[in-house]
């Protein structure tokens, strides 16, 4: 499965900004496939899932070899919920705990290492393009 990519930044209210390169999961097949079957991912990379509208989202780790941190975002790109260190291959449902428009998957442990938290603001071309609509 092929994915386009773009730059993405996560800024804390304290003024720290962290930059990543994310692959874009935009179509139903891409949203379903995500990061399954990957053996590794660079530390400053991830995947941005764009669900097209705000809604409750359920994720899982079936066929996913990597431990992942998941950041759930509202339509303006604000982190509303975080799931750290999702367990590889687990079929347990990971809930967004409310309506979200986006999910970012990063390598497991990045949230803790960088001090990312609920309320952080995410910016990318994909998110910016929808803010004006």
pLDDT of residue 107: 98
Q: Where are the beta strands (DSSP E) in 26-93?
A: 45-59, 68-73, 79-86
Element holding 110 (H helix, E strand): helix 110-114
Which CATH number do you get for residue 32?
Answer: 2.60.120.1140
Beta bridge partners of 79: 73
d(CA 69, CA 87): 10
Structural domain of 94: 5-131
How do beta strands 94-107 and 68-73 pair? antiparallel
Q: How far is CA 73 from CA 70, 79, 107, 121, in A?
A: 10, 4, 17, 9
Q: How do the pLDDT tens digits run along the chain, 133 residues long?
A: 899 999 999 999 888 999 999 999 999 999 999 999 999 999 999 999 999 999 999 999 999 999 999 999 999 999 999 999 999 999 999 999 999 999 999 999 999 999 999 999 999 999 999 886 5
Domain count, the chain: 1
pLDDT of residue 130: 86
* Cβ contacts of 85 within 8 Å, gap of 6 or more: 67, 68, 69, 108, 109
pLDDT of residue 116: 97
């Amino acid at each position: 499965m092929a994915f386009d990519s773009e730059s993405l930044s996560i800024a804390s209210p304290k003024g720290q900004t962290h930059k990543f390169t994310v692959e874009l999961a935009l179509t139903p097949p891409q949203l379903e496939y995500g990061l399954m079957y990957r053996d590794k991912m660079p530390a400053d990379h991830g995947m941005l899932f764009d669900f097209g509208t705000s809604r409750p989202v359920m994720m899982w780790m079936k066929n996913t070899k990597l431990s992942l941190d998941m950041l759930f975002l509202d339509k303006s790109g604000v982190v509303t919920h975080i799931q750290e260190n999702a367990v590889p291959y687990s079929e347990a449902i990971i809930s967004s705990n409310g309506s979200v428009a986006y999910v970012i998957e990063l390598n497991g442990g990045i949230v803790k290492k960088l001090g990312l938290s609920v309320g952080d603001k995410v910016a990318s071309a994909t998110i910016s393009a929808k803010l004006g609509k």
